[in-house]
Every structure is written in structure tokens, then in C-alpha cells.
């Protein structure tokens, strides 16, 4: 049986494999810090492979760089020995929901998700700290030593270092860029090939953020920069110009494949496009070209003049004669000959797409096309429903009954973003989730259009100021505010619309150290005497469900998968995603348990190392699986 690695993906190893597949001569070997032989890239040889001339020295070229950028890339690629632990008591509908709320540093969360959710996310939307000079940043290892820059840190309850990034700091832009670069770099890999990445920002870091995203996604995939008017009255405290808008950078993972959803954001346009079918909103328009002029006559456009045959039940249309049909020509009510709007071939294509219909009106049959709203999304979004205070702050205050956040996004801005950029059955990831506006908006959107969008929210549990109204109301950190908002918002939508069917639940997962003892990862650092006392390589405070979720991460099983728990011969057995993964983390497992599991033919079976009842069971283990399902992949912790 194979042993699970139980740590996040090492992107360096993956990148070496990709380069090695194209340039095997550039693969070399070296010894790492533990004295182990590992593969590496001969960069000098690789540079020569990618150049038609001899590469000597460093030439000037266009680039965007800053201090510690290289270190930031290394940290983004490095694996971590962390896990996500389920928290049922803080969840809603844990066993039935497909939504996730993850507490932890979002860099660590992204690393843990990068294998399981590789190219599975339809939309990533983030609203990061704007770096106004008063923002708290969560500092990772890229920061220089404290004594070098005399920085003052605070430590939150989870041991994360909080740093006030003032504009007097000599690394004011550097700290922010390093924080953002790592996260966006990892996030890109999670997005589907036809998905989108959106990030909100103000003017302070707009240009730097654009440079980062251009580098990571490619300039050609920059779909647009949208200006969102969220405070029409402007900020009065500004010295020169009072900002009334913020920006939203929009990137496609692949501009050739990405498509916006067919929705109408403008309320007035919605009134005109009042009809609805499975393909979206539409309005009917006469298929006859009614305009005057030479281009609407059969003499000038003979290929646009032809009969359309319609059956008696009006359900079948064709430009060739069919039984029990009547021929309809493009002739107006006043008897004037015109043309149809398209050729025969285009008519047939639109009809097959469900966009041409026949209707009987009096004693006449008319041909109509369903005119879809093919709106061009503008770069300037101005609508009163996007006002940050009236439809962001006030809505949040009313739901929680206390003031908690100063600048949450408008609920309706988020709803429109989600409907426009995410399909009805898609997954939205927000790893700066704050007050959880995105989760509220997804539930609202699903209720309105019967969608089944899922959310994954990540937020570091930053402590609330003890003098704040939120703290006095019982909210110790930001995550507690976000989770309570989702609970209350879901209940409010359900109470106001008793017939509504949408997923208002969420699984709470908390980022924590690995379930495995350190000896699991670094056995060479422990002597024989100590190893004898560590026969069990799993930490004592970890539950079977903790182990299950780390296994799910390791094997790439969606964390929202259906989980069923059963008992076989007194042992607890987990069945995930309808026999895709079965696991038993009890000890003294006998042949009855192994046989029952093998008969269900799971794709994966996982158990603790050396957890079988005795040597006889261990001897027969492989034979049992070979008898009932030799294809099952067997793994141990």
C-alpha cells in the first residue's frame, strides 16, 4: 500500500516535471538540505535551449519588479504541512450543503486547495486591503527581519503576525505587492479555462495591481477595468479630488474561451426583455425586415426571399416543404413584399437554437425571432443600487443589529457580478471574504434565478478591536461576523420566500497544523528510542473526521462531497462521494471489515498504518481486495 504525502502540493516539483517533459537534457540532480538526491533544472542550459544566439550576461528588458519578488515566488511554490479541520458545531446543514467557509491565512488556504480545486473554480472575486496607509497586512516569511526595519507586530489568536503598513514605511508598496503576488499566482491555477478573476481596488495600488495581474494572467487576458461608482457624493476628506468610485480589474483565464452569462443588469432593459425561456430573457421581434430602402426588397436581396413552411400546430418550421404545412412569405399586413432578416441557412440555425417561433394572430401566422439581450458591458457602472453605504453598510447593520464593518460591498453589486461572470451551477471563490457579502449575494442570486452556485469563502480570523461595537456584541473576530451574517441572511431569504429552494448552509473548516506528528515528515531527525514512543504517527487530539478531510485534500476529493458514516463490525467507516473514497481510521480492523469494504468496490480505501487486528488479517488484506475489487487503490496514513 502507498503512503499519503499529507502536505500541500510542491509546485516546484510540478514545474520541474513540465520542463523536463519538453527539455529532458536540462534535468539534473542535486542534494537537498537533508542530503537527499532530488531533480533540478540546469538553468544555463535551459536558457540556451530557448535562444537562437549564445546567451551571455543580462540584457535590459521590460519588467515589473520590487524587493523580495523572487522570494515571494519561492514561497508561493513551497509546500506546507497544514490541514483543514471540520467544525460541525459552527456549520449549517453540514451533511447536505455544498458551500465552504474556511478560517485561516488565505495563502495557506490557497495552497491547501490548489490540488483539489485545480481548474474547478468559475469565478474568483476578491476585495483585498487597499493599502491606504492604515491597513493591517498579514505578513508571511518574505518580510525582512524585525530589527532591520524596527517594525511593530501584533500576534492574533492563531499566531499570525499582524503588521500596520503605514505610508511612512520604507517598504510601503513592497509589503503589499508581496502579499498580493503570492496569492494571485496560486489562485490562477484554481480557475477553469473559461473562468474569470476579478479584484476590487482603489487608486492607491491600481497601477501596481494591474502590472501584477498582467504578468500572472497575461496582458491579452485583461478583459477590462471597470469603474464602480459606490459613493456618488464623493469623499469630503480628500485634499484635492474626492473619490466617488473604485475600480474592478477583470481578467479571463483564457480570453478565447471565456464568456459572460446572458443576464440583464439594467432594470429598464429588463422590462423590455420580459419573456423567458431556458436560454434566458428575450423579446419578440418580427422576422420580416420592415425597414424601407433597397436592402429590404427581394430584387436586391434575393437570397433573403423564400417561403417558411409552418405545420398546423405551429411547432415545426422549415424552408423546405413539409406535410400539413402552410407557406409563409415575408409580406407585410399592407401587402408590401419585403425580405426575411436572414438567409435560409441562418434562419435554420436560429430556429434549431430555439430563437425562431410562429404565432397565430387572428387569421394570420406571423414569424418572430427571439431577440436576446446581447448587451455590451460598459466600463462605467453607475446605479443607485451599487451605493456602498445604502446597500452595503446599512444592509449588514440591519441583519446583525450592530455596526460591524465600515465599508462592505453593495449586496446588489455583488449579485450582479456573480450573475454576469459565473454560470448558474458554478463555484465562486472569495479569499478576502470579510463580512461575507459574496456568500449573501450568491444565496440571493440562486433564489432569484433558481441557480445552484456554490461558494468557497476564506478569511483570516483577525481579532475585533475590544472597543468596537462588534466586540461588545460578542463578535471576537471577523470570521464570527461573516458566519453569522450567512446564517441570518439565509434564514431571512427563506422566511421572506417560503417556497424558495436554495442552499443556505455551509461547512466550516479551520486551517490548522497537520494531523500528523512531525516524525511523519522528518523521520531522519528522530533517534530509535524516540521512534519507539511514537508508534502512532497521528496527533492525539485529532478526530477521525479531521483525518478524513486531510485525506480528501491529499487525494483531490472536493471538500463539499457527500459524506456518509456507517458502522461495520463495530468500526466507523466513512463513504465519500458514493464509494469514490472509503476510509476507516479505527484500530484492530478485522477481515469482516476489510471484506465488507472491498465488496463495495471503492476507488480509494484509506486506513491508518498498522491498524489491522493481527498478522493474519495483514496477510490476507491484499488477497481480499484482489478477490472482490483489485482496482481499489489502497493507501495508509
Q: What is the model's pLDDT at position 118?
A: 96
Once rounded to an integer, what is the mean pLDDT over residues 2-19?
79
Q: What is the DSSP string of 305-358?
A: ---EEEETTS--EESS--TTEEEE-SB-TTS-B-EESS-HHHHHHHHHTT-EEE
What pLDDT digit, counting tens, does each position of 348-406 carry? 999 999 999 999 999 899 999 998 866 678 999 999 999 999 999 999 999 999 999 98
Q: Is the pLDDT of residue 166 over 80?
A: no
Pairwise pLDDT comparison (263 vs 509), residue with the higher score: 509
| Maximum Cα–Cα distance across the chain | 102
Q: What is the model's pLDDT at position 366?
A: 95
Pairwise pLDDT comparison (284 vs 29), residue with the higher score: 284
Q: Angle CA(468)–CA(471)–CA(472) in degrees, nearest 5?
A: 85
Are 332 and 450 in the same domain?
no
Residue 71 maps to a domain: no
Helix (H) or strand (E) holding 114: none
- Cβ count near 38 (within 10 Å): 12
Mean pLDDT for all residues in the chain: 87
Q: What is the model's pLDDT at position 78?
A: 87
Strands 37-41 and 27-31 turn out to be antiparallel
Q: Is the pLDDT of residue 494 over 60?
A: yes
Distance of CA 441 to the CA centre of its chain: 15
Residue 467 maps to a domain: yes
Question: Residue holding cell 491555477?
Answer: 189
Are 199 and 332 in the same domain?
no
Are 414 and 352 in the same domain?
no
The cell for 375 is 448587451
Q: Which of 372, 388, 407 is the last residue of a domain?
A: 372
Q: Which of 352, 372, 392 is the last residue of a domain?
A: 372
Contact partners, residue 444, CB within 8 Å, separation at least 6: 411, 415, 489, 493
The cell for 120 is 474547478
Q: Which of 465, 427, 435, 402 is nearest to 559 (CA)?
A: 427
Poorest-confidence range of 167-171, 493-497, 577-581? 167-171
Are 86 and 235 in the same domain?
yes
Q: How far apart are CA 26 and CA 637, in angstroms?
A: 35
Pairwise pLDDT comparison (573 vs 537), residue with the higher score: 573
Q: Is the pLDDT of residue 314 over 50?
A: yes
Cβ distance 544 to 565 under 8 Å? no
Are 364 and 384 in the same domain?
no
The cell for 529 is 528510542
Q: Is the pLDDT of residue 145 over 50?
A: no
Sign of the CA dihedral 310, 313, 314, 318? Answer: negative
What pLDDT digit, counting tens, does each position of 372-381 carry? 866 678 999 9
Once rounded to an integer, what is the mean pLDDT over residues 463-491?
95
Q: Which of 426, 448, 428 is nearest to 436 (CA)?
A: 428
Once rounded to an integer, what is the mean pLDDT over residues 271-290?
85
Residue 116 maps to a domain: yes
Q: What is the model's pLDDT at position 346?
A: 96
Residue 477 maps to a domain: yes
Are 580 and 472 in the same domain?
no
Q: Is the pLDDT of residue 155 over 60?
A: no
Q: How far apart are CA 75 and CA 526, in angstroms?
A: 27
Q: What is the model's pLDDT at position 491?
A: 96
Residue 476 maps to a domain: yes
Helix (H) or strand (E) holding 619: helix 615-628
DSSP one-letter code for 181: H
Poorest-confidence range of 230-234, 447-451, 518-522, 615-619? 518-522
Q: What is the model's pLDDT at position 175?
A: 85
pLDDT band at 141 (very low <50, low <70, confident <90, very high): very low
Once rounded to an integer, what is the mean pLDDT over residues 166-188?
81
Q: What is the DSSP string of 202-243?
A: -TTSHHHHHHHHHHHH-GGGEEEEEEEES-TT--TT-SS---
Q: Is the pLDDT of residue 48 over 70?
A: no
Residue 220 maps to a domain: yes
Are 43 and 126 in the same domain?
no
Question: Residue holding cell 423546405?
Answer: 320
What CATH number does the domain containing 190 carry?
Answer: 3.40.50.150
Q: Which of 510, 528, 557 is the last residue of a domain?
A: 510
Are 186 and 97 in the same domain?
yes
Helix (H) or strand (E) holding 153: strand 153-155
Question: Residue holding cell 486506513?
Answer: 607
Q: How far apart are CA 121 and CA 117, in angstroms?
A: 7
- Dihedral pair phi/psi, residue 61, rounded to 5°: -155, 160
How many domains, the chain?
A: 4
Name the β-bridge partners of 605.
582, 634
Give Cα separations from 588 to 283, 532, 601, 613 (angstroms).
68, 19, 22, 4
Are 242 and 103 in the same domain?
yes
Q: What is the model's pLDDT at position 190?
A: 98
Name the β-bridge partners of 526.
none
How many CA atoms does the CB half-sphere of 466 hold within 13 Å?
1
Q: Angle CA(220)–CA(458)–CA(545) in degrees, nearest 5?
A: 125
Q: What is the model's pLDDT at position 371?
A: 87
Are 186 and 224 in the same domain?
yes
Poorest-confidence range of 151-165, 539-553, 600-614? 151-165
Residue 77 maps to a domain: no
Q: Residue ranges of the alpha helices (H) in 235-368? A: 267-272, 344-352
Helix (H) or strand (E) holding 291: none
Q: How far apart are CA 395 and CA 415, in angstroms?
A: 14
DSSP one-letter code for 382: -
What pLDDT digit, counting tens, does each position of 512-523 carry? 999 998 765 555
Q: Which of 487, 27, 514, 163 is nearest to 479 (CA)?
A: 487
Q: How far apart are CA 179 and CA 106, in angstroms?
A: 10
Q: How far apart are CA 353 and CA 365, in angstroms?
A: 21
Q: What is the model's pLDDT at position 533?
A: 47
The cell for 191 is 480557475
Residue 68 maps to a domain: no
Cβ distance 123 to 479 under 8 Å? no
Are 218 and 299 in the same domain?
no
Are 410 and 364 in the same domain?
no
Domain housing 381: 82-264+377-510
Once rounded to an integer, what is the mean pLDDT over residues 252-273?
85
Give Cα separations from 66 to 107, 117, 202, 286, 389 (angstroms).
20, 30, 20, 60, 36
3-state secondary structure of 113: helix
Q: Is 521 left (phi over 0), alpha (psi -120 to 50) or beta?
A: alpha
3-state secondary structure of 325: strand
Amino acid at each position: 500500500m502507498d503512503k499519503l504525502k499529507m502536505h500541500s502540493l510542491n509546485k516546484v516539483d510540478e514545474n520541474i516535471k513540465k520542463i523536463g517533459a519538453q527539455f529532458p537534457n536540462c534535468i539534473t540532480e542535486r542534494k537537498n538540505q537533508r542530503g537527499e538526491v532530488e531533480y533540478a533544472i540546469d538553468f544555463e542550459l535551459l536558457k540556451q535551449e530557448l535562444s537562437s544566439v549564445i546567451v551571455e550576461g543580462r540584457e535590459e528588458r521590460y519588467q515589473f519588479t520590487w524587493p523580495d519578488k523572487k522570494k515571494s515566488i519561492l514561497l508561493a511554490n513551497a509546500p506546507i504541512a497544514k490541514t483543514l479541520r471540520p467544525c460541525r458545531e459552527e456549520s449549517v446543514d453540514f451533511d447536505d450543503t455544498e458551500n465552504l467557509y474556511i478560517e485561516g491565512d488565505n495563502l495557506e488556504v490557497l495552497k491547501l486547495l490548489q490540488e483539489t480545486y485545480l481548474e474547478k473554480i468559475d469565478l474568483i472575486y476578491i476585495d483585498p486591503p487597499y493599502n491606504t496607509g492604515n491597513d493591517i497586512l498579514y505578513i508571511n516569511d518574505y518580510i525582512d527581519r524585525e530589527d532591520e526595519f524596527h517594525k511593530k507586530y501584533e500576534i492574533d489568536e492563531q499566531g499570525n503576525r499582524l503588521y500596520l503598513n503605514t505610508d511612512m514605511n520604507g517598504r510601503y508598496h513592497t509589503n503589499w505587492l508581496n502579499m498580493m503576488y503570492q496569492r494571485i499566482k496560486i489562485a490562477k491555477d484554481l480557475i477553469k479555462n473559461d473562468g474569470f478573476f476579478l479584484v476590487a481596488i482603489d487608486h492607491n495600488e491600481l497601477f501596481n495591481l494591474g502590472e501584477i495581474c498582467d504578468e500572472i494572467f497575461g496582458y491579452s487576458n485583461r478583459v477590462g477595468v471597470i469603474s464602480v461608482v459606490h459613493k456618488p457624493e464623493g469623499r469630503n476628506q480628500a485634499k484635492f479630488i474626492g473619490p466617488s468610485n473604485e475600480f474592478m480589474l477583470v481578467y479571463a483565464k483564457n480570453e478565447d474561451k471565456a464568456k459572460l452569462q446572458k443576464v440583464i443588469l439594467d432594470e429598464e432593459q429588463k422590462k423590455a426583455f420580459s419573456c423567458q425561456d431556458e436560454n434566458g430573457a428575450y423579446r419578440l421581434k418580427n422576422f420580416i425586415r420592415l425597414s424601407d430602402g433597397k436592402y429590404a426588397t427581394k430584387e436586391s436581396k434575393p437570397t433573403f426571399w423564400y417561403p417558411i413552411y409552418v405545420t398546423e400546430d405551429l411547432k415545426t418550421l422549415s424552408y423546405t416543404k413539409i406535410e400539413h404545412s402552410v407557406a409563409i412569405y415575408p409580406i407585410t399586413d399592407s401587402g408590401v413584399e419585403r425580405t426575411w432578416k436572414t438567409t435560409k441557412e441562418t434562419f435554420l440555425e436560429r430556429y434549431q437554437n430555439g430563437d425562431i417561433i410562429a404565432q397565430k394572430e387572428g387569421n394570420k401566422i406571423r414569424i418572430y425571432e427571439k431577440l436576446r439581450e446581447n448587451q455590451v458591458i460598459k466600463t462605467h457602472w453607475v446605479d443607485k443600487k451599487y451605493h456602498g453605504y445604502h446597500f452595503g453598510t446599512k444592509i449588514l447593520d440591519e441583519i446583525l443589529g450592530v455596526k460591524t464593518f465600515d465599508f462592505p460591498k453593495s449586496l446588489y453589486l455583488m449579485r450582479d457580478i456573480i450573475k454576469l461572470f459565473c454560470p448558474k451551477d458554478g463555484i465562486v471563490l472569495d479569499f478576502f471574504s470579510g463580512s461575507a457579502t459574496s456568500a449573501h449575494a450568491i444565496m440571493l442570486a440562486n433564489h432569484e434565478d433558481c441557480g445552484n452556485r456554490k461558494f468557497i469563502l476564506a478569511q483570516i480570523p483577525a481579532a475585533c478591536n475590544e472597543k468596537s461595537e462588534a466586540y461588545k456584541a460578542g463578535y471576537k473576530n471577523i470570521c464570527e461576523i461573516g458566519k453569522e451574517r450567512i446564517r441570518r441572511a439565509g434564514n431571512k431569504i427563506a422566511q421572506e420566500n417560503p417556497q424558495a429552494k436554495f442552499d443556505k448552509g455551509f461547512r466550516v473548516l479551520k486551517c490548522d497544523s497537520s494531523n500528523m506528528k512531525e516524525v511523519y515528515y522528518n523521520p531522519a531527525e528522530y533517534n530509535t528510542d524516540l521512534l519507539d514512543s511514537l508508534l502512532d504517527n497521528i496527533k492525539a487530539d485529532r478526530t477521525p473526521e479531521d483525518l478524513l478531510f486531510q485525506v480528501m485534500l491529499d487525494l483531490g476529493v472536493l471538500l463539499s462531497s457527500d459524506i456518509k458514516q456507517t458502522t461495520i463490525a463495530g468500526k466507523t467507516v466513512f463513504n465519500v462521494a458514493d464509494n469514490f473514497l472509503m476510509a476507516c481510521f479505527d484500530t484492530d480492523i478485522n477481515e469482516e471489515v476489510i471484506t465488507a469494504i472491498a465488496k463495495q468496490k471503492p476507488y480509494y480505501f484509506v486506513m491508518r498504518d498498522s491498524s489491522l487486528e493481527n498478522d493474519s488479517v495483514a496477510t490476507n488484506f491484499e488477497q481480499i481486495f484482489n478477490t472482490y475489487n483489485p482496482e481499489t487503490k489502497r493507501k495508509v496514513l
